[in-house]
Amino acid sequence: MSDWPVAGFTSTGSKHPQGIYGDGDASGVPRLMSRSAGCYVWDDRDKRYVDCIMALGAVALGYGHPVVKLAAAAAIEAGVVGPLAPVVEAELAEDLQRLIPRLEQVRFLKTGAEACAAAVRLARAYTGREMVLSCGYHGWLDWAASGPGVPAAVSYLSDVIPFNNIEETRRLIRATGHRLACVIIEPVIEAEPHPEWLATLRAETTRVGALWIIDEVKTACRIAIGGATERYGLEPDLMVLGKALANGFPLAVVGGRRAVMERVADTWISSTLATEFVSLAAARACLDVMQLEDVPATLHKAGSRLFAGLGRLAHEYPDLVTRTMGIPEMCHLEFRDEAFSRGVAIGAARRGVLFKRSAYNFVSLAHDGAVVEQVVDTLAEVLGDIRR
């Protein structure tokens, strides 16, 4: 698609054909989609696919959930956006405070990257310090990136701590000491976090006077409504939520301790469309469904079925697959060779299943047992073909 008019193909490299299928030509696979419903997407030729990628985890209820659609339609009818703060903003903030007690105050933005950047800016404003330690992916903005276009001086203000490595985490926090504004982590990175590691993060950030931020963009409204903070009983200073919060509508949240959040008065966090009605209304509806249908429990059940199926495949095809990675709600296979991962993604797509060859695949409320078994059976067929 050399004449494609969009720079970089699309909004994220994970949706680029190379991101999905790997380098090289791949015939007979979808590159563009025209619509979606439930756990299915249709390509530009109207062929249907079971989707295990689910907009990179942004959809937990299934595409086009009727309750969310009705709320969004009403918000569109109400005018979408205007010159004053909408009533629904405060209503959603109160919903979040009730469901996630750590969120004493919140601020709405449109993307996880924005919300993570806002969290880091608040931490710097609150502590008067500049250094940041991070673990995981927190977006593309300068503070979290490096390479062409990112000033070297900005990159010098951050460093990386290793996931689940207690001793190195402790060493880095203590070494940064009074220069450290915050530590921001993804709580799940292809595995569950060790309780001792989480305890170390809380203890050591408190010890040096830094803030602890948990990036729940992938995990909120999936492993629990309050993400890992709820599941593991954590006490971060700030949280970042996004993706599944509004079931695909663009919305993210930074929130946490009131004393920290009140520093918005001392810095600048702004977005013209952060409080358009539609995403806020969609999020309220999504949270209603999350509670009424106990969605995280359902995702865990369906995800456990997929996770077990992937585990069987890893056991049956040890020459191709190293192991199953992640947790039931967000998982993938680790392959022994790039060519194998590419072959599985291409082979599954040709058979009508979109399966991510790296982190992560996600189930939704629309993935019932039959769909999960179809995915596992399809992967088994593809792996068998590759072995032969």
CATH code for the domain of 221: 3.40.640.10
pLDDT for 5: 83
Q: Write the CATH number for 376.
A: 3.90.1150.10
Domain check: are 305 and 334 in the same one? Answer: yes
Statement: residue 328 has pLDDT above 90: yes
Same domain membership, residue 192 and residue 157: yes
Domain stop point among 292, 318, 340: 292
Residue 85 domain flag: yes
pLDDT in tens, 178-220: 999 999 999 999 999 999 999 999 999 999 999 999 999 999 9
* Residue 271, domain member (yes or no): yes
What is the sign, positive or negative, of the torsion defined by CA atoms of 70, 72, 73, 74? Answer: positive
pLDDT beyond 70 at 228: yes
The answer as to whether 202 is a domain residue is yes
Q: What is the average pLDDT across 364-370?
A: 98
**Is the per-residue pLDDT at 25 higher than 90?**
no
Co-location of 214 and 277 in the same domain: yes
Q: Do residues 365 and 61 make contact, with C-beta atoms less than 8 angstroms apart?
A: yes
| Domain annotation covers residue 2 | no
Does 117 lie in the same domain as 70?
yes
**pLDDT category of residue 11 using cuts at 50, 70 and 90:** low
Structurally, how many domains does the chain consist of?
2
Whether residue 103 lies inside any domain: the answer is: yes
Residue 334 covered by a domain: yes
Q: What is the mean pLDDT of residues 30-49?
A: 97
> 314 and 278, same structural domain?
no
Are 337 and 246 found together in one domain? no
CB 64 within 8 A of CB 38: yes
Q: Which of 271, 292, 313 is the last residue of a domain?
A: 292
Same domain, 113 and 184: yes
Q: Is residue 233 a part of any domain in this protein?
A: yes
Q: Does 6 have pLDDT greater than 90?
A: no
Query: Would you say residue 87 has pLDDT above 90?
Result: yes
- What is the amino acid identity at position 358? S
Q: Are residues 181 and 261 in the same domain?
A: yes
Of 292, 307, 335, which residue constitutes the final position of a domain? Answer: 292
Percentage of the chain with pLDDT > 70?
99
Examine residue 59 and state whether it is found in any structural domain, yes or no: no
DSSP 358: S
CB 12 within 8 A of CB 23: no
Averaged pLDDT score across all residues of the chain: 96
Residues near 330 by beta carbon (within 8 Å), at least 6 away in sequence = 57, 188, 218, 219, 222, 223, 303, 359, 360, 361, 362
Which residues span the domain enclosing 157?
66-292
Same domain, 23 and 90: no
Residues 126, 224, single domain; the answer is yes
* Span 32-37, average pLDDT: 96
Residues 89 and 279: their CA atoms lie apart, in Å, by: 10
What confidence score (pLDDT) does residue 2 get?
A: 62
User: What mean pLDDT comes out for the span 139-163?
Assistant: 96
Q: Could you report the per-residue pLDDT of 292-308, keeping only the tens digit for each?
A: 999 999 999 999 999 99
- Contact by Cβ (8 Å): 135, 160: yes
* 255 lies in the same domain as 303: no
Based on the fold, state whether residues 350 and 247 are members of the same structural domain: no
Q: Which residues in the chain belong to E strands, given as ranges?
A: 33-37, 40-43, 48-51, 105-109, 131-135, 158-160, 180-185, 211-216, 238-241, 252-256, 321-327, 330-335, 353-354, 361-362
Looking at the DSSP assignment, which residues form a beta bridge with residue 324?
333
Region 263-286: what's the mean pLDDT? 96
| For range 20-45, the mean pLDDT | 94
